[in-house]
Structure 1
Amino acid sequence: MKLFLQRHFGAWATGPTAVKIMAFGVIGLGNTVIDLAVFTFGYQVLGLPLVPANVLAWLIAVSGSYVMNTMVTFRAESGRVLRRKDYFRFVASGILGVIATTTTLVVLSNFIPVYAAKLASILAGFIVNFTMSHFVVFRPKPPTGIMD
């Protein structure tokens, strides 16, 4: 299996990046439960339309995601320190994820049941959010010699 992954996805698929993807995924599962619960509450109980229900669910889940990914997935890059600027950068980069999830949800809900579309939208968001977190929000900072 390791040889297959290396051959088809490069060394990153079996190295530290693969571990980060798995940690990000596990944390994402917890956030998915929160996202789905808030979405269901907003959509079914409050009667919100799809887009506001989805955005509300994202806004609540994103804070937990930031904390857990700072402490676990990107602990080396973040030093396990919660920073306001990193949180806002995480939220700002997550806007691409919410655009991806909302677009996927709205488009697919025309062809498949809403909750199947919601699950597909979560997968689209996972791809966008990991990419942004890995390459933008928590990228290793070059040593400057100055205390942060």
Structure 2
Amino acid sequence: MIRRGTLMSDPSLLVTNPSRTDPSLAPAGRHAYYVLAPVPNLIRGSGLDWQGGLGRRYADELMGVLEARGYRGFAAGVEVSRVVTPADWAGAGMAAGTPFAAAHNFRQTGPFRPSNLHPTLDNVVFVGSGTQPGVGVPMVLISGKLAAGRIIG
């Protein structure tokens, strides 16, 4: 997928249901879900027309994937949805439409990600998903803690 710049035929999906632990995120008796599907960035996937409705079509396809994987009635239960594509991320200033900074592969995961210390400036410490330890809210929070520790000792 990444090298070919195509969508996955059998996509890996990250499905979260934040209203399960915080009911205030959805109306009573309903739930909020977040579904993340890896897609090529705008450089590798330059042949993908995100501006031409591909995002909505792919989201509809993913609804079918979720149903087939046991989320029975998922698609029919959706009342409001928002599809965010690499084009949207690029519009928000993220290079190549990638919200996770450096490539999310083994060579740029965890300790292999760029250091949070600047190589020549002693008073510069980096924080966020583009530095160690990596992507995701827990890792970004840990990154902030590491940076704070380096600054205040």
TM-score by length of 1: 0.29
From the CA coordinates, give the structure whose radius of gyration is larger: 2
Greater relative contact order (CA < 8 Å, ≥ 6 in sequence): 1
